[in-house]
Amino acid sequence: MASFYDRMDENRRNSYLLMSLVFVVCLAAVWGFSIIFFGDSDLGFALGALFSGGYVAATYFAADRMILSVSGAREAKKEEFPYLVNVVEGLSIAAGVPMPKVYVIDDPAPNAFAVGTSPDKASIAFTTGLLSMMNRAELEGVAAHELSHIKNFDSRMATIAVAMVGLVAILSDLGMRSVFWGGMRGGGRGRDRGGGLALIGLAIIVLAPIFSQLVRLALSRQREFLADASGAQLTRYPEGLASALEKMKNAGTMVQHASDATASLYFANPLSMGGMFSTHPPMEERIKRLREM
């Protein structure tokens, strides 16, 4: 039977590997974009890298406010939600992290998510559907899971991954439009070599968005397993989290304002897609792992 620590170590290793793959795909897309637009030019690659770094940085620093806004989250006042705030406060002390801001989303589907580039600047949002459905042990399990995302810097990793995948999609779209309207430049250091590089660049910008999205989804699934293990370790009661997952599985977790860009942040998949295109592992597998701890 795997321990908390075995599960956590395994998922951390897998997560770092997948994050590295996202970074490599992003660099490849920048290179392919520079070949399509500027030919075999070091200056073109440098300009592409500069634009890419600026885009990822801007997305990273604006992401939290944007996600809370588009999700329809409102701050949970202690006078209105004393029970919820008390649960999050107690678990924050136990986890050794600053108390995050607590938000509520008016949605009947049971779900929750955490955002924040660091534990000092983090927020957790819970749907009203989750608050009405869970008992204290189950709510503590979900809150511990989300606090674990914050403590493990999963929200930061997810934000960077989403930004890089979005960047790859933009570069691919611009590159394809350039090829369609103006052809491939390719040249610069030898005609044959330039033409060959242009074809490689075209292949990269066609395939990179698909591959980067699949890797991002796999990364998201690994971080969910890690947060489950970390959350169960925090409460010392894996059954609370397993029971919450069972209730959510039976009730459905599709959230009205969720989108592909925000889906990976949620406690359970808020969209209908499953399998390799899902942001989350199957609930059955999550429940099974928790009950084996």
Position 98 confidence tier, pLDDT thresholds 50, 70, 90? very high
Q: Is 140 a catalytic residue?
A: no
Determine how β-strand 112-116 pairs with β-strand 73-75.
Answer: unpaired
Residues 6+ apart with CB under 8 A from 187: 39, 40, 194, 195, 198
Position 113 confidence tier, pLDDT thresholds 50, 70, 90? very high
Query: What is the Cα–Cα distance from 165 to 151, expressed in whole angstroms?
Result: 24
Q: Which of 33-37, 135-139, 252-256, 273-277 shows the lowest mean pLDDT across its residues?
A: 273-277
Q: Which two tokens stand for residue 223?
A: 């971080």
Query: What is the Cα–Cα distance from 12 to 97, expressed in whole angstroms?
Result: 19
For the chain, the domain total comes to 1
Q: Which of 45, 122, 51, 125 is nearest to 84 (CA)?
A: 125
Query: What is the Cα–Cα distance from 252 to 133, expressed in whole angstroms?
Result: 12
Range of the domain at 126: 4-291
Q: What is the pLDDT of residue 35?
A: 80
Q: Which of 119, 141, 154 is nearest to 224 (CA)?
A: 154
- Enclosing H/E stretch for 73: strand 73-75
Q: Are 36 and 198 in contact (CB under 8 A)?
A: yes
Catalytic hit among 138, 140, 146, 224: 146
Position 11 confidence tier, pLDDT thresholds 50, 70, 90? low
Q: What is the pLDDT of residue 46?
A: 82
Buried b (16+ CB within 10 A) or exposed e, 159-173: bbbbbbbbbbebbbe
63-95: pLDDT as tens digits: 888 889 989 999 999 999 999 999 999 999 999
